[in-house]
């Protein structure tokens, strides 16, 4: 039996049932429902062939070409679906809930599966995700100069609602941000990941803790509606002694491939200036990581100060340690003192 369901029902059922994405592999790669499995009815080349036929010859010839491509693979699809869903109950979608997901749902239904078909397809999911960014939310922003250990602190904010934006984006937000990280998702898929995290949170009066970010984190871009809310939210600024920040970053970068550090410095060459860039590259070559960090921080601290000036509700918290657990406890006490939580 095929049952057409709303995006809200689809997301609820996706917590326990496999989700099969019938779109082409390239579509899936650009962005997908995070729990979905790629289950393409057509390869990228086959999809292009059907699409070209539709444009040049019309609906009926394109459908026949699609059936010719789909038919020989039907047995394989049923076998694969059985492995993924031994209980024979699945969720299926394509781009708009059209012919691709419809054909896959028909085949699996014919083969004894209980199939839930997403009304409006992936497009409906994307609309639902964007709605999450438009909702007014109670946010609390954790900020501080580069090297303050903001990201390290997040896991220790016990019993708080926390979203690690840099973790979702696979980037630390600077020219050095991709070092040691997995490849970044597209902005579309970053939005999917972020929206999913927002959907997991309850609607209590407790704030959502986010790390302070610019609107772009590497190549991933924050939704403007959420970013604007972040700009107006209370911001706790960690004031860590500069030398502690230098030591922390130097310790991290001393284990990094020098060519990666050199490439990062060259990305900000225009902002550093020729002399500072030369000195930073020499410091990398001679393993003087503290000097390299000092030079880079001269730029990043200035840029941070400029951005911080745009904030409307800023609270400064002086700390004398870089220990994340210790600092998290102090941040929570500070937030309670100022009635933010």
Cα distance between residue 142 and residue 106, in whole Å: 50
Residue 326 CA, chain-centre distance (Å), reads 28
Q: Give the SS3 label for residue 3.
A: strand
**Residue-level pLDDT at 293:** 95
**Residue-level pLDDT at 217:** 95
**Residue-level pLDDT at 177:** 81
**173-201: pLDDT as tens digits:** 888 888 888 999 999 999 999 999 999 99
Q: Determine how many CB atoms are found less than 10 A away from the CB of residue 67.
A: 11
Is the distance from CB of 166 to CB of 217 less than 8 angstroms?
A: yes
**Residue-level pLDDT at 339:** 95
Global pTM value = 0.92
Given 94, 175, 220, 261, which residue is catalytic? 94
**Residue 254 is among the residues annotated as catalytic for this protein:** no
Structure tokens at 245: 């920040």
Structure tokens at 335: 């937030």
**Residue-level pLDDT at 29:** 97
Q: Compute, in degrees rounded to 10, the torsion defined by CA atoms 98, 100, 103, 107.
A: -130
DSSP strand pairing (220-221 vs 208-211): unpaired
Residues of the chain with pLDDT under 50: none
**Residue-level pLDDT at 10:** 98
**Domains, the chain, with CATH or none:** 2-129 (3.40.250.10), 135-337 (3.40.50)
Mean pLDDT of the chain: 94
């Amino acid at each position: 039996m095929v049952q057409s369901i709303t995006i809200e029902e689809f997301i609820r059922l996706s917590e326990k049932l496999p989700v099969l994405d019938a779109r082409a592999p390239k579509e899936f790669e650009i962005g997908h429902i995070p729990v979905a499995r790629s289950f393409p009815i057509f390869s990228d080349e086959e999809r292009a062939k059907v699409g070209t036929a539709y444009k040049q010859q019309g609906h009926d010839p394109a459908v026949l070409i699609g059936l010719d491509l789909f038919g020989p693979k039907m047995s394989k699809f049923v076998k694969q679906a059985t492995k993924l869903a031994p209980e024979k109950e699945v969720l299926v979608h394509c781009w708009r809930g059209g012919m691709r997901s419809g054909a896959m749902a028909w085949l699996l239904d014919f083969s004894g599966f209980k199939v839930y078909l997403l009304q409006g397809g992936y497009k409906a999911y994307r609309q639902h995700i964007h709605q999450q960014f438009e909702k007014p939310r109670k946010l609390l922003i954790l900020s501080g100069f580069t090297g303050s250990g903001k990201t390290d602190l997040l896991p220790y904010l016990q019993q708080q609602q926390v979203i690690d934006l840099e973790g979702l984006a696979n980037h630390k937000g600077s020219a050095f941000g991709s070092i040691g990280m997995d490849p970044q998702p597209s902005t579309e898929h970053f939005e999917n990941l972020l929206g999913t995290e927002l959907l997991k949170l309850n609607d209590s009066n407790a704030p959502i803790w986010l790390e302070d970010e610019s609107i772009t984190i590497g190549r991933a871009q924050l939704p403007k509606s959420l970013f604007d809310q972040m700009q107006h939210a209370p911001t706790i600024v960690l004031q860590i002694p500069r030398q502690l920040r230098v030591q922390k970053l130097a310790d991290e970068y001393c284990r990094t491939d020098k060519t990666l550090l050199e490439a990062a410095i060259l990305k900000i060459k225009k902002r550093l200036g020729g002399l500072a860039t030369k000195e930073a590259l020499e410091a990398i070559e001679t393993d003087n990581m503290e000097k390299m960090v000092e030079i880079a921080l001269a730029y990043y601290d200035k840029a941070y100060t400029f951005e911080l000036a745009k904030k409307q509700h800023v609270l400064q918290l002086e700390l004398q340690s870089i220990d994340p657990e210790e600092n998290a406890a102090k941040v929570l006490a500070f937030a309670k003192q100022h009635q933010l939580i």
